Amino acid sequence: MVVRAAVSRWGLAIFLFALASSGALRYGMESVSAQVQTLTVEGKISNATAGASEVAGLPVTLHRISIFGPDDLLTTSGENGEFRFDDVEFDPELSYGVSVRYQEAIYGTDIDLSSGSLNSVM
């Protein structure tokens, strides 16, 4: 699902990749608990509008939604629009999404963090 508000002529693309060992989204087991799987969620924001402004320094949110409500993680996009969330505890009972705020508009998508998934949203 892509959510757009306020500035419809701007196009942002959030690319998320899930690769087993060397991709943008990596899965790994930590010793925290035998049942807890931790992930690294990485991606890159790009503005598809010709002549558009930079994508550095944008607020990026990783949404984790449960029956109790949201539990968000926040970061800021880097120099080339890249972002990263480390040590994300995966829970198959939760829904996940990522969003970015750009010129008072929010662009986002649901993401599948299950093992072996590949997410690419344009």
CA distances from 119 to 51, 52, 104 (A): 27, 24, 25
pLDDT tens by residue, 87-110: 999 999 999 999 999 888 899 999
Question: Alpha-carbon distance 1 to 7, whole Å?
Answer: 17
How much is the mean pLDDT over the chain?
A: 73
Angle (nearest 5°) at CA 54 between 51 and 60 = 135
CA distances from 47 to 5, 31, 57, 65 (A): 15, 39, 13, 27
In CATH, what number does 12-111 get?
Answer: 2.60.40
Provide mean pLDDT across the span 13-36: 41
Name the pTM for this structure: 0.66
Provide mean pLDDT across the span 43-60: 87
Where along the chain do its domains lie? 12-111
Question: Alpha-carbon distance 56 to 72, whole Å?
Answer: 20
- Structure-model confidence comparison of residues 45 and 13, the more confident one: 45
Range scoring the smallest mean pLDDT among 1-5, 66-70, 116-120:
1-5
